[in-house]
């Protein structure tokens, strides 16, 4: 299932950001695949391949537009912090 929408929270510092307890599993990004015409509308999709410490594999499938939006939010925060 492709992720089309996600909530985004922006924090000013690590002290303000949430601390994740043991109910969350840390994963490593193993690869990112950008697929041209990967969505039903013919736009790029992005597959993020993940793996945990014991070798379980996961994939996040999303749109290129969503990834671009996240990059824009990070860039906006950087510009705001730099004043």
Does position 1 have pLDDT exceeding 90, yes or no? no
User: What is the reported pTM?
Assistant: 0.86
Over residues 10-51, the pLDDT tens digits come to 999 999 999 999 999 999 999 999 999 999 999 999 999 999
CA 76 to chain centre: 16
* pLDDT beyond 90 at 56: yes
- What residue spans of the chain are helical by DSSP H? 64-82
Specify whether the backbone of 81 is left (phi greater than 0), alpha (psi in -120 to 50) or beta.
alpha
């Amino acid at each position: 299932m492709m992720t089309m929408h996600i909530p985004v929270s922006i924090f000013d510092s690590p002290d303000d950001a949430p601390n994740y307890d043991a109910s969350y599993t840390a994963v490593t990004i193993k690869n990112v695949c950008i697929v041209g015409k990967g969505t039903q509308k013919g736009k790029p999709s992005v597959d993020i391949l993940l793996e945990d410490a014991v070798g379980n594999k996961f994939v996040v499938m999303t749109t290129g537009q969503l990834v671009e939006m996240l990059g824009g939010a990070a860039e906006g925060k950087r510009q705001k912090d730099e004043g």
